[in-house]
Amino acid sequence: MILIDACYKKPTSHTPVWLMRQAGRYMKEYRDLRAKVSFLELCKSPELVCETTVFACETIKADAAIIFADILLITEILGFQLEFAKNHGPIIHNPFTPSHTFPTHIEHEALHYVGHALSATRKELPKHKALIGFAGAPFTVATYCIEGGKSKDFAKVFALMKDHPDAFHGLLSQITDATISYLQMQTQHGADCIQLFDSWVGLLSPEQYQEFVAPYVKRIFNQIQNKPTIYFGTKTKHLLQTMVQTGPTVIGLDSDVSIKTMWPELSYHPIQGNLDPLILLEDQSTIFKETDRILAEVGQRDGYIFNLGHGIVPQTPVENVIALIQYVHEKTAK
Protein backbone atom coordinates (compact mmCIF):
# COMPACT_ATOMS: atom_id res chain seq x y z
CA MET A 1 0.00 0.00 0.00
CA ILE A 2 1.47 3.29 -1.11
CA LEU A 3 0.26 5.24 1.93
CA ILE A 4 1.80 2.74 4.33
CA ASP A 5 5.09 2.84 2.42
CA ALA A 6 5.13 6.64 2.69
CA CYS A 7 4.52 6.41 6.45
CA TYR A 8 7.74 4.41 6.73
CA LYS A 9 9.73 6.65 4.35
CA LYS A 10 9.89 3.98 1.67
CA PRO A 11 10.07 5.03 -2.01
CA THR A 12 6.67 5.28 -3.72
CA SER A 13 5.56 5.39 -7.36
CA HIS A 14 3.81 8.71 -6.68
CA THR A 15 2.92 10.87 -3.70
CA PRO A 16 -0.03 9.28 -1.86
CA VAL A 17 -3.08 11.47 -1.31
CA TRP A 18 -6.08 11.31 0.99
CA LEU A 19 -8.06 14.21 2.40
CA MET A 20 -9.52 14.81 5.82
CA ARG A 21 -13.33 14.82 5.70
CA GLN A 22 -13.24 13.27 2.21
CA ALA A 23 -16.61 11.67 2.98
CA GLY A 24 -18.82 14.60 3.89
CA ARG A 25 -21.26 17.33 3.08
CA TYR A 26 -19.49 18.53 -0.07
CA MET A 27 -20.80 15.35 -1.76
CA LYS A 28 -24.46 15.35 -2.88
CA GLU A 29 -24.73 11.62 -2.22
CA TYR A 30 -23.75 12.18 1.41
CA ARG A 31 -26.27 15.01 1.81
CA ASP A 32 -28.98 12.81 0.31
CA LEU A 33 -28.16 10.03 2.78
CA ARG A 34 -28.14 12.42 5.73
CA ALA A 35 -31.61 13.62 4.72
CA LYS A 36 -32.80 10.09 5.54
CA VAL A 37 -30.77 9.23 8.66
CA SER A 38 -29.29 11.18 11.55
CA PHE A 39 -25.55 11.52 12.01
CA LEU A 40 -25.44 9.05 14.90
CA GLU A 41 -27.65 6.58 13.02
CA LEU A 42 -25.20 6.72 10.14
CA CYS A 43 -22.17 6.26 12.43
CA LYS A 44 -23.78 3.23 14.08
CA SER A 45 -24.75 1.46 10.85
CA PRO A 46 -21.78 -0.63 9.58
CA GLU A 47 -23.46 -1.04 6.19
CA LEU A 48 -23.98 2.71 5.68
CA VAL A 49 -20.52 3.54 7.03
CA CYS A 50 -18.95 1.08 4.60
CA GLU A 51 -20.94 2.48 1.69
CA THR A 52 -20.11 6.09 2.60
CA THR A 53 -16.40 5.45 3.20
CA VAL A 54 -15.79 3.41 0.04
CA PHE A 55 -17.89 5.66 -2.21
CA ALA A 56 -15.94 8.76 -1.22
CA CYS A 57 -12.55 7.12 -1.65
CA GLU A 58 -13.40 5.65 -5.05
CA THR A 59 -15.11 8.79 -6.34
CA ILE A 60 -12.15 11.08 -5.71
CA LYS A 61 -9.60 8.27 -6.35
CA ALA A 62 -7.74 8.80 -3.08
CA ASP A 63 -4.97 6.41 -2.07
CA ALA A 64 -6.62 5.73 1.28
CA ALA A 65 -10.04 5.72 2.89
CA ILE A 66 -10.71 6.92 6.41
CA ILE A 67 -13.53 5.15 8.20
CA PHE A 68 -16.61 7.33 8.64
CA ALA A 69 -17.05 7.93 12.37
CA ASP A 70 -16.67 10.71 14.94
CA ILE A 71 -14.12 11.39 17.67
CA LEU A 72 -16.89 11.72 20.29
CA LEU A 73 -18.42 8.25 19.89
CA ILE A 74 -16.08 7.08 22.64
CA THR A 75 -17.70 9.45 25.17
CA GLU A 76 -20.82 7.27 25.33
CA ILE A 77 -18.97 4.32 26.88
CA LEU A 78 -17.54 6.71 29.49
CA GLY A 79 -21.04 7.59 30.67
CA PHE A 80 -21.55 10.86 28.81
CA GLN A 81 -24.87 11.57 27.07
CA LEU A 82 -24.01 12.50 23.48
CA GLU A 83 -26.28 14.14 20.95
CA PHE A 84 -25.60 15.66 17.54
CA ALA A 85 -28.16 18.45 17.24
CA LYS A 86 -29.18 19.66 13.79
CA ASN A 87 -27.36 22.87 12.79
CA HIS A 88 -25.57 22.88 16.15
CA GLY A 89 -23.15 19.99 16.34
CA PRO A 90 -22.23 17.79 19.30
CA ILE A 91 -23.81 18.27 22.72
CA ILE A 92 -22.72 16.51 25.92
CA HIS A 93 -25.78 16.73 28.16
CA ASN A 94 -23.93 15.80 31.36
CA PRO A 95 -20.62 17.70 31.13
CA PHE A 96 -17.66 16.69 33.26
CA THR A 97 -17.20 18.25 36.70
CA PRO A 98 -14.69 17.43 39.45
CA SER A 99 -17.38 15.29 41.14
CA HIS A 100 -18.05 13.24 38.00
CA THR A 101 -18.20 9.47 38.48
CA PHE A 102 -17.30 7.11 35.66
CA PRO A 103 -18.97 3.74 35.05
CA THR A 104 -17.44 1.02 37.21
CA HIS A 105 -17.21 -1.17 34.11
CA ILE A 106 -16.49 0.33 30.69
CA GLU A 107 -18.48 -1.48 28.00
CA HIS A 108 -15.91 -1.38 25.20
CA GLU A 109 -18.07 -3.81 23.21
CA ALA A 110 -20.57 -0.97 22.74
CA LEU A 111 -18.22 0.50 20.11
CA HIS A 112 -17.96 -2.70 18.09
CA TYR A 113 -20.20 -1.20 15.41
CA VAL A 114 -17.06 0.70 14.37
CA GLY A 115 -15.15 -2.59 14.19
CA HIS A 116 -17.86 -4.20 12.07
CA ALA A 117 -17.81 -1.16 9.76
CA LEU A 118 -14.03 -1.45 9.41
CA SER A 119 -14.23 -5.17 8.59
CA ALA A 120 -16.90 -4.58 5.95
CA THR A 121 -15.02 -1.62 4.46
CA ARG A 122 -11.71 -3.47 4.30
CA LYS A 123 -13.44 -6.20 2.25
CA GLU A 124 -14.99 -3.68 -0.17
CA LEU A 125 -11.98 -1.40 -0.54
CA PRO A 126 -9.40 -2.27 -3.23
CA LYS A 127 -6.49 -4.10 -1.61
CA HIS A 128 -3.92 -1.51 -2.67
CA LYS A 129 -5.77 1.28 -0.83
CA ALA A 130 -5.14 1.76 2.88
CA LEU A 131 -7.97 1.98 5.39
CA ILE A 132 -7.40 4.54 8.13
CA GLY A 133 -8.98 4.18 11.54
CA PHE A 134 -8.98 7.04 14.02
CA ALA A 135 -9.82 8.45 17.41
CA GLY A 136 -9.76 11.80 19.13
CA ALA A 137 -6.74 12.50 21.31
CA PRO A 138 -7.52 12.63 25.05
CA PHE A 139 -7.17 16.41 25.45
CA THR A 140 -9.42 17.23 22.51
CA VAL A 141 -12.10 14.73 23.57
CA ALA A 142 -11.86 16.11 27.11
CA THR A 143 -12.59 19.66 25.91
CA TYR A 144 -16.00 18.55 24.61
CA CYS A 145 -16.72 16.60 27.80
CA ILE A 146 -15.91 19.64 29.93
CA GLU A 147 -17.51 22.35 27.79
CA GLY A 148 -20.56 20.27 26.91
CA GLY A 149 -19.87 20.68 23.20
CA LYS A 150 -18.11 23.21 21.01
CA SER A 151 -16.60 26.27 22.65
CA LYS A 152 -15.39 29.68 21.57
CA ASP A 153 -13.13 30.43 24.52
CA PHE A 154 -12.67 27.07 26.33
CA ALA A 155 -13.12 28.93 29.62
CA LYS A 156 -14.31 25.83 31.51
CA VAL A 157 -11.35 23.82 30.22
CA PHE A 158 -8.76 26.32 31.40
CA ALA A 159 -10.56 26.83 34.72
CA LEU A 160 -10.55 23.09 35.41
CA MET A 161 -6.89 22.86 34.41
CA LYS A 162 -6.00 25.63 36.86
CA ASP A 163 -8.31 24.88 39.77
CA HIS A 164 -8.72 21.09 39.62
CA PRO A 165 -5.71 19.62 37.79
CA ASP A 166 -6.14 16.23 39.47
CA ALA A 167 -9.70 15.95 38.18
CA PHE A 168 -8.52 16.96 34.71
CA HIS A 169 -5.80 14.29 34.78
CA GLY A 170 -8.39 11.76 35.96
CA LEU A 171 -10.58 12.52 32.95
CA LEU A 172 -7.61 12.33 30.58
CA SER A 173 -6.57 8.99 32.04
CA GLN A 174 -10.05 7.52 31.59
CA ILE A 175 -10.21 8.70 27.97
CA THR A 176 -6.71 7.36 27.30
CA ASP A 177 -7.49 3.88 28.63
CA ALA A 178 -10.68 3.71 26.56
CA THR A 179 -8.92 5.06 23.47
CA ILE A 180 -6.17 2.42 23.62
CA SER A 181 -8.75 -0.38 23.68
CA TYR A 182 -10.78 1.33 20.96
CA LEU A 183 -7.83 1.72 18.60
CA GLN A 184 -6.53 -1.78 19.23
CA MET A 185 -10.00 -3.03 18.28
CA GLN A 186 -9.84 -0.96 15.08
CA THR A 187 -6.51 -2.49 14.03
CA GLN A 188 -7.90 -5.96 14.72
CA HIS A 189 -10.85 -5.25 12.41
CA GLY A 190 -8.87 -4.10 9.40
CA ALA A 191 -7.49 -0.60 9.96
CA ASP A 192 -4.12 -0.38 8.19
CA CYS A 193 -3.17 2.93 9.80
CA ILE A 194 -4.41 5.01 12.75
CA GLN A 195 -4.80 8.78 12.91
CA LEU A 196 -5.11 10.57 16.24
CA PHE A 197 -6.98 13.88 15.94
CA ASP A 198 -5.94 16.54 18.48
CA SER A 199 -7.98 19.36 17.01
CA TRP A 200 -7.77 21.81 19.93
CA VAL A 201 -4.32 21.11 21.32
CA GLY A 202 -2.96 24.23 19.62
CA LEU A 203 -4.66 26.24 22.37
CA LEU A 204 -2.00 25.14 24.83
CA SER A 205 1.43 26.46 25.68
CA PRO A 206 4.39 24.05 25.39
CA GLU A 207 4.39 23.74 29.19
CA GLN A 208 0.67 22.91 29.31
CA TYR A 209 1.16 20.41 26.50
CA GLN A 210 3.91 18.62 28.40
CA GLU A 211 1.71 18.33 31.49
CA PHE A 212 -1.77 17.63 30.09
CA VAL A 213 -1.16 16.03 26.70
CA ALA A 214 2.22 14.39 26.09
CA PRO A 215 2.03 11.61 28.72
CA TYR A 216 -1.35 10.41 27.50
CA VAL A 217 -0.59 10.57 23.79
CA LYS A 218 2.68 8.70 24.39
CA ARG A 219 0.73 5.94 26.15
CA ILE A 220 -1.54 5.57 23.14
CA PHE A 221 1.25 5.44 20.56
CA ASN A 222 3.20 3.00 22.72
CA GLN A 223 0.24 0.61 22.57
CA ILE A 224 -0.30 0.88 18.78
CA GLN A 225 2.98 -0.66 17.69
CA ASN A 226 1.85 -2.91 14.84
CA LYS A 227 0.42 -0.20 12.55
CA PRO A 228 1.66 3.22 11.44
CA THR A 229 0.17 6.20 13.26
CA ILE A 230 -0.52 9.80 12.25
CA TYR A 231 -0.85 12.60 14.81
CA PHE A 232 -2.67 15.74 13.71
CA GLY A 233 -3.72 18.99 15.34
CA THR A 234 -4.55 22.50 14.19
CA LYS A 235 -2.57 25.65 15.01
CA THR A 236 0.26 23.53 16.39
CA LYS A 237 3.41 25.05 14.86
CA HIS A 238 4.71 25.93 18.34
CA LEU A 239 4.19 22.33 19.50
CA LEU A 240 5.23 20.21 16.53
CA GLN A 241 8.70 19.26 17.75
CA THR A 242 7.22 18.12 21.06
CA MET A 243 4.35 16.31 19.31
CA VAL A 244 6.85 14.29 17.25
CA GLN A 245 8.49 13.16 20.50
CA THR A 246 5.25 11.47 21.61
CA GLY A 247 5.94 8.72 19.08
CA PRO A 248 3.72 8.95 15.98
CA THR A 249 4.98 7.46 12.73
CA VAL A 250 3.79 10.58 10.85
CA ILE A 251 3.06 14.13 11.99
CA GLY A 252 0.27 16.13 10.32
CA LEU A 253 0.84 19.77 9.46
CA ASP A 254 -1.77 22.53 9.48
CA SER A 255 -1.89 25.02 6.61
CA ASP A 256 -0.15 27.75 8.61
CA VAL A 257 3.14 25.83 8.56
CA SER A 258 5.82 26.08 5.87
CA ILE A 259 7.05 22.59 4.96
CA LYS A 260 10.29 24.09 3.69
CA THR A 261 10.98 25.66 7.09
CA MET A 262 9.43 23.11 9.43
CA TRP A 263 10.47 19.78 7.92
CA PRO A 264 14.20 20.24 8.61
CA GLU A 265 13.34 21.29 12.18
CA LEU A 266 11.50 17.96 12.53
CA SER A 267 14.60 16.10 11.26
CA TYR A 268 12.60 15.07 8.18
CA HIS A 269 10.25 12.94 10.24
CA PRO A 270 7.45 11.65 7.92
CA ILE A 271 4.81 14.34 7.46
CA GLN A 272 1.29 14.79 6.12
CA GLY A 273 -0.27 17.98 4.80
CA ASN A 274 -0.90 20.76 4.23
CA LEU A 275 -2.92 22.53 1.50
CA ASP A 276 -5.31 25.18 2.82
CA PRO A 277 -8.83 23.69 2.46
CA LEU A 278 -10.15 27.06 1.31
CA ILE A 279 -7.92 26.87 -1.78
CA LEU A 280 -10.28 24.16 -3.04
CA LEU A 281 -12.97 26.85 -3.39
CA GLU A 282 -10.84 28.62 -6.00
CA ASP A 283 -10.45 27.90 -9.72
CA GLN A 284 -8.36 24.87 -10.60
CA SER A 285 -5.40 26.85 -11.89
CA THR A 286 -5.10 28.48 -8.46
CA ILE A 287 -5.38 25.07 -6.79
CA PHE A 288 -2.65 23.63 -8.99
CA LYS A 289 -0.37 26.62 -8.42
CA GLU A 290 -0.60 26.24 -4.64
CA THR A 291 -0.14 22.49 -4.96
CA ASP A 292 3.01 23.06 -7.02
CA ARG A 293 4.37 25.28 -4.27
CA ILE A 294 3.88 22.56 -1.64
CA LEU A 295 5.30 19.81 -3.84
CA ALA A 296 8.34 21.98 -4.60
CA GLU A 297 8.96 22.38 -0.86
CA VAL A 298 8.75 18.61 -0.43
CA GLY A 299 11.02 17.94 -3.39
CA GLN A 300 11.77 14.27 -4.08
CA ARG A 301 12.09 13.38 -0.42
CA ASP A 302 10.36 10.19 0.77
CA GLY A 303 8.07 10.18 3.79
CA TYR A 304 5.43 12.61 2.57
CA ILE A 305 1.64 12.21 2.31
CA PHE A 306 -0.36 14.91 0.52
CA ASN A 307 -3.39 16.13 2.45
CA LEU A 308 -5.12 19.32 3.52
CA GLY A 309 -4.23 21.40 6.54
CA HIS A 310 -7.69 20.54 7.89
CA GLY A 311 -10.92 18.99 6.58
CA ILE A 312 -12.72 19.67 3.30
CA VAL A 313 -15.27 22.46 3.78
CA PRO A 314 -18.90 21.75 2.73
CA GLN A 315 -18.97 24.33 -0.09
CA THR A 316 -16.11 22.60 -1.94
CA PRO A 317 -16.89 21.52 -5.53
CA VAL A 318 -16.38 17.76 -5.89
CA GLU A 319 -14.74 18.26 -9.27
CA ASN A 320 -12.01 20.36 -7.63
CA VAL A 321 -11.21 17.55 -5.20
CA ILE A 322 -11.04 15.01 -8.02
CA ALA A 323 -8.84 17.33 -10.08
CA LEU A 324 -6.48 17.97 -7.14
CA ILE A 325 -5.82 14.29 -6.52
CA GLN A 326 -5.36 13.52 -10.20
CA TYR A 327 -2.94 16.46 -10.46
CA VAL A 328 -0.83 15.29 -7.50
CA HIS A 329 -0.71 11.74 -8.88
CA GLU A 330 0.37 12.89 -12.34
CA LYS A 331 2.78 15.56 -11.10
CA THR A 332 4.63 13.19 -8.77
CA ALA A 333 4.60 10.03 -10.88
CA LYS A 334 8.06 8.48 -11.09
Would you state the pLDDT for residue 235? 96
Would you state the pLDDT for residue 88? 78
Could you confirm whether 144 is annotated as catalytic? yes
Could you confirm whether 34 is annotated as catalytic? yes
Please tell me whether residue 1 adopts helix, strand or coil conformation.
coil
Would you state the pLDDT for residue 35? 94
Would you state the pLDDT for residue 87? 74
Would you state the pLDDT for residue 107? 87
Q: Which domains does the chain have, with CATH numbers?
A: 2-332 (3.20.20.210)
Segments of the chain with pLDDT less than 50: none
Please tell me whether residue 99 adopts helix, strand or coil conformation.
coil
User: Ramachandran region of residue 70, left (φ > 0), alpha (ψ -120 to 50) or beta?
Assistant: beta
Residues 25, 113, 276, 302: which is the catalytic one? 25
Could you confirm whether 25 is annotated as catalytic? yes
Letter string b/e over residues 37-54, b meaning 16 or more CB atoms within 10 A of that residue's CB: eeebebbbbbebbbbbbb
Residues 34, 113, 276, 302: which is the catalytic one? 34
**Structural contact between residues 240 and 266, judged by C-beta atoms closer than 8 angstroms:** yes
Would you state the pLDDT for residue 106? 85
Could you confirm whether 293 is annotated as catalytic? no
By residue count, the chain amounts to 334
